[in-house]
A and B are shown apart, each in its own frame.
Chain A
Amino acid sequence: MTHTSRIFNYEHANIWYYNVNKEQEWNINKEFPTMTDAQQLALVKQQEQQSLFLARPQDTVLMHHHPDPQFLCYLVEQGHKLPEIQLIKNIHSHHINSNLTYSLVPYMVTEDLEQWCLREKCDLFGADSLLVKRLNSKLYTRELATKYQFLVTSGSLCRSVEELIETYVKLTESGFEKCVLKTAFGSSGKGLRLINNSREFQSLLKFISRRSSNFELLLEGWHPVQQNINCQLLIRDGRPFILSVTEQYIDANGVYLGTNYSPEYSPQTDEHYRHEMMRLGNVLVDLGFDGICGIDSIIDQQNRIFPIIELNARFTQVTYLLDLVQRLNRDFQYIESRYVRIEFSDPLSFYEVNEILKRILAPDRDHRYLVYTFAKYTPEGTSRTKYRIYVLFYGKQQNKLRAMIQNFLTFEARQHQDRAPINM
């Protein structure tokens, strides 16, 4: 495994910038049903805290929201050396006031960041923005997978209501109980819509046809999944490297739930998957890609690997945590991440929340946890506060670790709305 510390240009200081949610802006299709949850978006943006795990003390992390000071103290107490944090409203109005050479390391390379780097005379980590955008398109990657003869799920690109109907009929007649409708861009369930039955399909058709008669949407059969399998691929100096193979957990709607960093696959599966990922890596080299990709793949109930369900030509959560995971792996065999969305009637500090977590998770010397993102949002006019808490669990026995994780997942904010007294 290539150590992540070798990936980034550590000859000079890096500026880390987490421009998440950019993908959704690329969807010009208005016929695909989506709902914007401004409060959850505000919480998702705070995942920028994950940059702290790759940034070195001499680096700068640009943030839109200052992390809770207690959370930062906690990270230092856990042994992390923090970089400089600079709060910004907008990167475009931010200037580098220094004669030193910097390298911008973004979550995703975009055209506006390329322009910013030109203006600020700064290097940029990653590939050309047009190629990045193309590779992030589910429509393009399906075409790519087909062209290079990777196994793809059944389905078609549809440009009209008639084509949607034709494809749906073909899929259901060939045995698919469920289908999935996809738009080009969107991560973690955004940009895809599961269709459970023909009634839902008819409703979606009406929704779409009320808005447009010309569009580009992918309609595919929903393959029952035995296991997810995911790869972090690095393309550097014209060569592909597999940084990690992990197992992503997603819910029934394709929303990301967490990652198993110590998954179990048969040797044949592991070998076949790595072979396909190296093959994909070479395709990306030929396309001129340079940088990091997260590949989402599935193993279906017939043990077939569909290697390219989604190609994320950007950083993912795994990218940011991989360095930490590799260090923890020296002593702890099992490592998984999860997050919860919780709410309290009044704001709680990080230490108060962590005391609750300690009680619920009951860590011991061989089974521990680390909060790696503490996102908090209190809407105006209310004291009711929403949180997203991301935790890395690591331990020596899988069953004990899984028990901790289960306790975490059943953690219900309402049980703690009374701000239970903390025994310090």
Chain B
Amino acid sequence: MQKDNVIERVTESVTHVLEREQGQVDCLLDLSTIGMDSMRSVALIVELEEAFDIVFDDEELMFENFSTIDKIAGRVLTKLVSAAS
């Protein structure tokens, strides 16, 4: 899966969890400034795992790792690449 596709899908999940319109959230925006907190990020990781059929390791489940769409997409892409190889 290409990074653009991953970003698009991650953006979809983020905007769903934050109840925002798509296009309102920039990839590099700190999501905590628009309402992402540890509770909502739990909903996000549950959604991302299902959407991409991946499993985040416990050590990865730190709020700072999910602070921007770009960071999240990078993490997801790494997992997809590992799973493919």
Contact = CB atoms under 8 A, between A and B. Distances in A.
Q: Is the A/B pair a real complex?
A: yes
A36 B62 contact: yes
Contacts of A255: 39
Size range of the chain B interface in the assembly:
10 to 19
Interface residues of A, number: 21
A35 B31 CA distance: 15
A211 to B, nearest CB: 7
Contact of A211 (B38, B55, B64): B55
A203 interface: yes
A188 to B, nearest CB: 11
B37 interface: yes
Contacts of A204: 46
A211 B45 CA distance: 14
A42 B37 CA distance: 15
Contacts of A200: 43, 46
Contact of A35 (B42, B50, B55): B42
Contacts of A39: 63-64
A30 interface: yes
A35 B50 CA distance: 17
Contact of B46 (A33, A189, A253): A33
A41 to B, nearest CB: 9
B46 A37 contact: no
Contact of B55 (A189, A210, A343): A210
Given A204-B46, A206-B49, A255-B39, A34 B61 contact: yes
B53 to A, nearest CB: 9
A193 B55 contact: no
Contacts of A37: 37-38, 62-63
A35 B66 contact: yes
Contact of A36 (B33, B37, B38): B38
Interface of A: 30, 33-40, 189, 193, 200, 203-204, 206-207, 210-211, 253, 255, 343
17 contacts: A33-B42, A35-B38, A35-B42, A35-B66, A36-B63, A37-B38, A37-B63, A38-B63, A40-B37, A200-B46, A203-B46, A203-B47, A206-B49, A207-B45, A210-B55, A211-B55, A253-B39
Given A35-B41, A37-B62, 18 more contacts: A33-B42, A34-B38, A34-B61, A35-B42, A36-B61, A36-B63, A37-B37, A38-B62, A39-B63, A39-B64, A40-B38, A40-B63, A206-B50, A207-B45, A207-B46, A207-B50, A210-B49, A210-B55
Q: 8 closest A-B pairs (Cβ-Cβ)?
A: A37-B63, A37-B38, A35-B38, A35-B41, A33-B42, A203-B46, A207-B46, A253-B39
